[in-house]
Amino acid sequence: MEKLNIDPKKLEIAGYVKVAGVDTEEIASYVMLPPDAAMGDYALPCFRFAKQLRKSPAAIAEELRSDILSRPNPFSSVEAVNGYLNFKFDRSETAGKVLADIIREGANYGASDEGSGKTVCIDFSSINIAKPFHIGHLSSTVIGAALYRMYLKRGYKPVGINHLGDWGTQFGKLIVAYKRWGDDEKLKKEGVMHLTEIYVKFHAEAEEDPALEDEARAWFKKIEDGDAEALRLYDMFKSLTLEEVGKVYARLGITFDSYNGEAFYNDKMGPVLERLEKLGLITESDGAKIVDLKEWGMSPCLLVKADGATLYATRDLAAAFYRKKTYDFYKSLYVVAYQQNLHFKQLFKVIELMGESWYKDLVHVPFGMVSLEDGTMSTRKGKVVWLKDVLDKAVEKAGKVIEEKNERLKDAAAVAEKVGVGSVVFFALSNNRIKDITFSYDKVLNFDGETAPYVQYTNARCRSLMKKAGDVKTLFAEPLGHEELKGLDGKEGEEVISLLKRFGAVIAEALEKYEPSIVTRYIIELARSFNRYYLANRILNAEPEARRARIALVYAVSVVLEEGLRLIGVGAPEEM
Ligand code: ARG
C-alpha cells in the first residue's frame, strides 16, 4: 500500500471513533469525503470493521453512532446510513460563513499551514536529454506540478526536481550519428527533432553495421574521460534540449528548483557503494555487483556492471541520499510511470536494508500510459508524438471553436492558448492517475464534457455576472444578513455551498492520495452544480433581499473555480 499522509481533520474524527483493535490512524485512513456533499462533511464506511467485529456494517454504524454521541464531540450531526457513518461539523451559519471566508480570503481560500516546516521533494517530468519531450512525459509533468502547487497551498515546502536523463551510452551513439549525418542548418531549425531523426537512423544503420556500436561505446568512454570534443558535443545536446523543453514548461507555467540529473551523481555513487560493501549487502555475480533481493521476491538490484559501468539504479540510490542530506525531506516523491514499479521497489528496499529509517518516506507515485487515438510511440522507430505539437494543435482547434462562439472576443489568441493548453492538462489530470488513457482532441475540447473549456466557460459566465453586479469590495462591505442568506435556500444553493465548503478538504485528500484528479473532479462537480443553480435562480434581477447573497455565491464559485484550475495548472480566461 502507498504510504498516506492523512488529513488532520480525518485524524480528528477518527479520535472519536472507538473500534477495539483498530488504531486511530487506520480508522482515519478509511474516512472519506462522501460522494454527495449534502450527506455530510466526512463519512466512515463501517464494512471495514465487519470482519473484526463480526457484525453487519449497519449494526456497527448504529453502535458507533450512539457511542460517539454519548460523549462530548464537535459534530452537529452524526448519522448512520447504509453502513456508513456520516459526520457533519457545525453548520448553523454555514452559508454565511463559507461566503464570508471566501470573500475575505480570496485566492487564499482552502489554504492551510498543516505542512509548516515539512519539505517534500517531488521528482517529476525528469525528461531525457536529446530525446523528444513527448506525450509520454505529459503525465509526470502535470501530476508533479499539480502536487507541487497543492503542497505549497497547504503550507509545505515543495522542492521540484527535474532528474534529467543526461547520462548513458546513448550519448555515444548520438555523437556518432551527429558526426555522420548531423546537419547544423537543420539542427538550428529543428533542434531536438533533428537529433531524434539521426538517433533513429543510427539504430537502423547499426543493425547492418555493428561496428557503429563499438564506435558509440568509444565516444561514450571519451565523455566519461572528459575529452574536450566529446564534452563539447554532449553539452551542446544538453543545452539544445533544455532550451526547447524550457519553452514547453513556460507554456505549462512550470518551474523547477533543481535540474540535477543523472550526470550530477557521477561523483556521488562511490561512498554509497562503499557503505553497501561494508554492510555486506553487495554480492558479486559474474563480475557484476548486485544486491540480492530474492528474499523479498524481487530480482536483484544491479548496481555495477562487470565492465565497471554504473546504472540508472546506482544514480537513483546516490540521489536519494543526496536529497535526504540536502533537503531533510518529510517525504520524497517520484512521479514516474508504473513501468518502473520494480525499479522503485528495489531502490526503496535497498535503502531499508541499509538501515535508513527514512526509506518509509520515499514514495513512488505511478501513473498509466497516455496514447493518442491514432497509435502509440517509440523513440527508436521514430513514431513519436511531440508534446509541443499536441499543444499547438489543441490551441489551433480551440481557436476555431472560440471564434465560432464569440467572434468579437478580445485577445482571442491568448484565450485560445489558455483553453487549448488547459484542455490537454485538464484531461491528463481528470482520471485516476493509474489508468491508461487515450487522448482525443475532440474529447478534450468538448465544451459540454468534463473538460477544461466547460469549467473555463462556467467561470467566464460567473465573471461576466460579476462585472455587471458591480465592485466586489463595495458590494460586500457589509456582511450578509440572516434574511439575505435565505436567498440561497433550496437544493441547488445548498449543494453549491456544501461543495464550496469542502475545497480545503479536497486539496488535503488529493495530497493524501497523491491524486490531483480529486481536485479536477471537484472542479467539474462545482461547475456542474453552479450551472444547475444558475438555471434555477435569477441572479442579477433577483428579488432585492436575495440579490446580494446570490451575487456572493457567484463570486465565491468563481474564486474557487479559478483557484482550483490554477492548482492543476490550467488558466482561467476572464472572457470566452
Ligand atoms: N528519465 C526517466 C524516464 O524518462 C525518468 C526518471 C525518473 N526519476 C528518477 N529519479 N528515476 O524514464
Could you tell me the CATH number of the domain that includes residue 484?
Answer: 1.10.730.10
Count of CA atoms in the C-beta half-sphere (13 A) of 424: 31
* 123 CB within 6 A, ligand 1: yes
Give the count of domains, the chain. 3
Residues 414 and 515 in one domain: yes
* Ligand 1 center to 325 CA (angstroms): 20
Query: How far apart are the C-alpha atoms of 323 and 495, rounded to whole Å?
Result: 44
Residue 529: its pLDDT value, please?
Answer: 97
pLDDT of residue 263: 96
Whether 308 shows a pLDDT value over 50: the answer reads yes
| Confidence band of 85 (pLDDT split at 50, 70, 90) | very high
pLDDT at 559: 98
Q: 134 CB less than 6 Å from ligand 1?
A: no
What is the reported pLDDT for 371? 84
Ligand 1 centre distance from Cα of residue 494 (Å): 45
Q: Is 357 a residue whose pLDDT tops 70?
A: yes
Same structural domain for residues 422 and 560? yes
pLDDT of the residue at 374: 67
| Within-domain flag for 64 | yes
User: pLDDT for 105-153, tens place per residue?
Assistant: 999 999 999 999 999 999 999 999 988 788 889 999 999 999 999 999 9
User: Where is average pLDDT lowest: 263-277, 362-376, 470-484?
Assistant: 362-376
Q: Looking at residue 133, what is its pLDDT?
A: 82
Q: Which of 129, 139, 163 to mutate to test the pocket of ligand 1 (most atoms within 8 A of CB)?
A: 163
Band of the pLDDT at 52, cuts 50, 70, 90?
confident
- Which pLDDT band holds residue 2 (cuts at 50, 70, 90)? very low
What are the two backbone dihedrals, phi and then psi, of residue 304, each rounded to the nearest 5 degrees?
-135, 125
Q: Is 397 in the pocket of ligand 1 (CB under 6 A)?
A: no
CA distances in angstroms from 347 to 289, 312, 317, listed in the order given: 15, 10, 7
Distance of CA 516 from the midpoint of ligand 1 (Å): 20
DSSP state of 339: G
pLDDT at 509: 95
Res 407 pLDDT > 50: yes
Position in ligand 1 atom list of the atom nearest CA 137:
4
Distance from the CA of 342 to the center of ligand 1, in angstroms?
Answer: 13
In this predicted structure, what is the pLDDT of residue 1? 39
Residue type present at position 518: I
Query: Per-residue pLDDT tens for 521-571?
Result: 999 999 999 999 999 999 999 999 999 999 999 999 999 999 999 999 999
Residue 466 forms part of a structural domain: yes
Instruction: Answer yes or no: is 320 within a domain.
Output: no
458 lines ligand 1 (CB under 6 A): no
CA of 568 to the centre of ligand 1 (A): 22
Q: Averaged over 349-367, what is the pLDDT?
A: 98
pLDDT tens readout for residues 448-464: 999 999 999 999 999 99
Distance of CA 408 to the CA centre of its chain: 35
Residue whose CB lies within 8 A of the most ligand 1 atoms, among 336, 344, 346, 387, for a mutation test: 336
Q: Is residue 220 part of a domain?
A: yes
Residue 80, domain extent:
8-89
Is the C-beta atom of 262 inside 6 A of ligand 1? Answer: no
**HEC states along 529-540?**
HHHHHHHHCCCC
Domain annotation covers residue 273: no
CA of 203 to the centre of ligand 1 (A): 22
Buried b (16+ CB within 10 A) or exposed e, 329-364: bbbbbbbbebebeebbbbbbbbbebbebebbebbbb
CA distance 243 to 238: 9
Strand locations in 135-237 (E): 157-161
Query: Which of 249, 276, 305 marks a domain boundary?
Result: 249
**Residue written as cell 555495477?**
304
pLDDT reported for residue 453: 97
Is the C-beta atom of 163 inside 6 A of ligand 1?
yes
Q: How many CB atoms lie within 10 A of CB 509?
A: 22
Domain final residue pick, 40, 73, 89: 89
Percent of the chain topping pLDDT 70: 97
* Residues 184-202: b if buried by 16+ CB within 10 A, e if exposed: eeebeeebbbbbbbbbbeb
Cβ 128 under 6 angstroms from ligand 1: yes
Q: 173 in a domain, yes or no?
A: yes
Task: Select from 62, 99, 94 the least CA-distant residue to 78.
Answer: 62
Ligand 1 close to Cβ of residue 141 (< 6 A)? no
Q: Judge if the beta carbon of residue 334 lies within 6 A of ligand 1.
A: yes
Q: Given this model, what pLDDT does residue 240 score?
A: 93
H helix intervals, 361-490: 387-405, 412-428, 441-444, 452-469, 472-475, 482-485
pLDDT at residue 4, as a whole number: 58
* pLDDT the model gives residue 376: 53
Measured between alpha carbons, how far is residue 324 from residues 212, 328, 332, 334, 362 in Å?
A: 41, 5, 8, 14, 10
CATH number at residue 69: 3.30.1360.70
In contact, 137 and 379? CB cutoff 8 Å: no
Average pLDDT, the chain: 93
Residue 378 has pLDDT above 80, yes or no: no
With a cut of 80, say whether residue 201 has pLDDT above it: yes
Angstrom CA distances, 111 to 42, 133, 149, stand at: 19, 33, 11
CA of 102 to the centre of ligand 1 (A): 40
Judge if 75 and 178 occupy the same domain.
no
- pLDDT reading at 77 higher than 70: yes
> Domain boundary residue among 197, 232, 249?
249
452 against 487, higher pLDDT: 452
pLDDT score for 373 = 78
For residue 212, what pLDDT band results from cuts at 50, 70 and 90? very high
- Among the listed residues 429, 364, 225, 240, the one whose alpha carbon sits nearest the alpha carbon of residue 308: 225
Q: Is residue 109 part of a domain?
A: no
Asked whether 367 lines ligand 1 (CB < 6 A), one says: no
- Measured from the Cα of 128, ligand 1's closest atom is 1
The span from the CA of 81 to the CA of 58, in Å, is: 7
Backbone phi, psi, residue 169, to 5°: -65, -20
**Residue whose cell numbers read 513514431:** 383
DSSP for 259-298, written as a single string: ---GGGGTTTHHHHHHHHHHTT-EEEETTEEEE--GGGT-
CA distance 98 to 91: 10
* The pLDDT of residue 472: 87
